[in-house]
Amino acid sequence: MAKMTEQVKQAWQDREGPAILATVSPEGVPNIIYVTCVGSYGDERLVVADNYFDKTRKNILASGKAGAILFQTKEGKAYQVKGTLEYHTEGEIFDDMKRWNPAKHPGHAAAALLVGSVYCGAEKIC
C-alpha cells in the first residue's frame, strides 16, 4: 500500500471531467466505466460511489480485486492509480461517501481503491 504524494493529491483536486474505473472479471475480462461521483478517503484511498454498477460490482466482489482509476487534470496531465479494490456497504468509508454523493443517486456502496502505485504518463510517482 502506498500513500498518495502531495503532487497526486493536488492533481486529484485539480481533475477535470469524469474519471475512468477499470476492473477485471475472474476470467480476466476487463471492464471500464466512466465515473463522476468520486472522492478520496485519507492518503491511501480513492473512492467511487456505486450508484449504478453491474459488471463492475460483480468484478469487485468476485475477482482478485485488482483495479485502476485514470483521471486527467485541467492542465491535461493524466494520472493512473493502480491498486486493490474494497467494497464497503457500511462503516466509515461508506458513511463518508454518503456525505458527498449527490442525494439524487442511490449510493449502494463505496468502492475504494487502495493505492498501490501512481503513474503520471510513464513516470512512477509513488
Q: Are 64 and 24 in contact (CB under 8 A)?
A: yes
49 domain residue, yes or no: yes
pLDDT in tens, 53-98: 999 999 999 976 899 999 999 999 999 999 999 999 999 999 999 9
The percent of residues above 70 in pLDDT, for the chain, comes to 99
Domain count, the chain: 1
111 domain residue, yes or no: yes
pLDDT in tens, 40-53: 999 999 999 999 99
Q: What is the CATH number of the domain that holds 38?
A: 2.30.110.10
